[in-house]
Amino acid sequence: MKILREILEDAKNKIVKLNGERLCNQTSNSCGCCNWDYSLISLDEKREIVEFLRKNNEVKEKVLKNKLEESVCYFHDKELGKCLIYKLRPICCRYISYKIYEKDDCFKTCSPLEPCRKSCSTVIRLEKKDVRIEKYPLKSYQLNDERYYFIDDKVIEEYKEYKNKQNVKLNSVIEEIKK
């Protein structure tokens, strides 16, 4: 897991140098694309989060309160406007706005030009012919005279291994800390 996080963080940092920070607002408010009940994490990620929450009762109580409200991400601190488990947040939360998803006939990704909103999708569709392979593990495409870069996780062996283990629902963290 540590190696995968390092690979993804390095790729994200390359993108930030090339394009700047993404406008994704998922760690600053709860209007993003998070589907916390159904988001999948690995067992290792679950263990890390549960262990952290058991040691941090104040954070745990905020998480449980968020679960009751069911209108925000469990891990979003409304008062501080940030993620309560930022350093431990799952892979699915860390890089969503930096990834490109290959479908049968196209690629899809978060728009680099506007922050996500639940009220309307900011996911954009890209023709396969318009996406270029860049230096590992990046891909890019042209939009409004600017080249935008994204992580292609399908070329990362460690990510493939992670995906095989990514079978735990994020909401199982809540069930575990209630015990």
Residues 71-122 pLDDT 10s: 667 888 888 888 899 889 899 888 888 888 889 999 988 888 877 666 667 7
How many domains is the chain partitioned into structurally? Answer: 1
Supply the range of the domain harboring residue 108. Answer: 2-178
Helix axis angle for 43-55 and 57-69, nearest 10°, is: 110
DSSP 20-62: ------TTT-S-SS--TTT-EE-HHHHHHHHHHHHH-HHHHHH
The secondary structure element, H or E, covering residue 159 is helix 157-165
Q: What is the pTM of this model?
A: 0.82
